[in-house]
Chain A
């Protein structure tokens, strides 16, 4: 009857856990690689202002970032101290914005393109002049959904 109980009954067959570390290491490496932030490569100083009426940006692939701020110490010799724009990982001219938007747009499926948001990460100390210029460029490029990046305000006004 006991067709299946033949042989060494008492010896528990163990699942080999030898490969478990590998699996977890894989996960670990995945997280380590994925969470390398672009932020670290910022060549300009950006401290976003505080606000209360915040909306969270949902899908990261549908967001492109334009940083505006003053160059950090290391780059002041090269770029000066007046506010600059950083697109991707390099400091750029305002005229490069349309191309930058176009490049990002190409990476997004066509039916989602209307959802693309531009997140303006602007330093608190920057004057509105350069921001106005960027906004005008965005409008001319037809990129109308804009997010003024800000942190949650903790204290009072």
Chain B
């Protein structure tokens, strides 16, 4: 009798079948809650560094779209104050110049957007302005893609995109920032 009972006790195992379920639950919890940190942002290619001062190139002032963001985060576009909301459309107008206005750019290929900031400009203001300038180009490219190929710019093939880009090259030149309002 005693022997049988001992045998019984040996058979007493904890049912491990539900362990899998518990572990699955935990696994799914972690899968759902962990957003694998995705980084996104505005991709920029910086100009190469050269120790020599850049050559002075005289450009027709009608082809330059100068944007200045000062220490107070105010916007000065072609010597006129402007609000950030108008910047995108104004930039587009300057680049494309559909009415051949003599004060705006000769052609999109010659248009240059020049961005200048103070050292005291807040990064937020700078990035917002940069974003608007980028958005202006992106919208132009999108419109061109619609006109030429009847689809979005992102859906175009590499060659088509390059074709559009070479006609409307993205030129955002950044001038050396002036040292106003730096906090050091």
Interface residue ranges, A against B (CB under 8 Å): 17-18, 20-21, 24-25, 27-28, 31-32, 35, 37, 39, 48-49, 51-57, 60, 63, 65, 68, 82-83, 117, 119-120, 122-129, 131-132, 135-136, 138-140, 142-152, 157
Q: Does B131 contact A (CB under 8 A)?
A: yes
Interface residues of B in 76-134 (CB under 8 A from A): 84-85, 117-124, 126-128, 130-131, 134
Q: Is the CB of A125 within 8 A of B123?
A: yes
Interface residues of B in 24-75 (CB under 8 A from A): 24, 26-27, 30-31, 34, 36-49
Main secondary structure of the interface of B (DSSP, over half): mixed
Listed stretches B1-9, B13-21, B145-153, B155-163; interface member: B13-21
Residue total for B at the interface (Cβ-Cβ under 8 A): 50
A-B contacts, 26 of them at CB < 8 A, read A20-B19, A20-B20, A25-B23, A28-B27, A31-B27, A35-B34, A49-B123, A49-B124, A53-B134, A54-B42, A68-B123, A82-B183, A127-B182, A129-B179, A132-B117, A144-B46, A145-B45, A146-B45, A147-B42, A148-B41, A148-B42, A148-B127, A150-B40, A150-B41, A150-B42, A152-B40
Measured in the bound complex, the distance between the Cα atoms of B45 and A145 in whole Å is 5
Which of A18, A27, A48 sits near B16, CB closer than 8 Å? A18
Beyond A24-B27, A51-B42, A63-B39, 18 extra complex contacts between A and B, CB < 8 Å: A17-B17, A20-B20, A21-B20, A25-B23, A53-B138, A55-B41, A82-B183, A124-B122, A126-B123, A128-B117, A131-B123, A144-B45, A144-B46, A146-B44, A146-B46, A147-B43, A147-B44, A148-B44
Which of B16, B19, B119, B134 sits near A128, CB closer than 8 Å? B119
List the A side residues contacting B182 at CB < 8 Å.
127, 129
Which of B24, B45, B128 sits near A24, CB closer than 8 Å? B24
Q: Is the CB of B47 within 8 A of A139?
A: yes
Q: Shortest 8 CB-CB distances between A and B: which pairs? A: A129-B119, A21-B19, A124-B124, A139-B49, A149-B41, A24-B23, A35-B34, A129-B182
Interface residue ranges, B against A (CB under 8 Å): 16-17, 19-20, 22-24, 26-27, 30-31, 34, 36-49, 84-85, 117-124, 126-128, 130-131, 134-135, 138, 177, 179, 181-184
Given A24-B24, A139-B48, A139-B49 in contact, is the A127-B42 Cβ separation under 8 Å?
A: no
Q: Is the CB of B45 within 8 A of A124?
A: no
Q: Is the CB of A21 within 8 A of B23?
A: yes
Given A132-B177, A140-B49 in contact, is the A82-B39 Cβ separation under 8 Å?
A: no
List the B side residues contacting A39 at CB < 8 Å.
37
Main secondary structure of the interface of A (DSSP, over half): mixed
Q: Is the CB of A31 within 8 A of B40?
A: no
List the B side residues contacting A138 at CB < 8 Å.
46
Q: Is the CB of B42 within 8 A of A53?
A: yes
List the A side residues contacting B49 at CB < 8 Å.
136, 139-140, 142
Measured in the bound complex, the distance between the Cα atoms of B177 and A139 in whole Å is 15
Closest chain A residue to B16, Cβ basis: A18
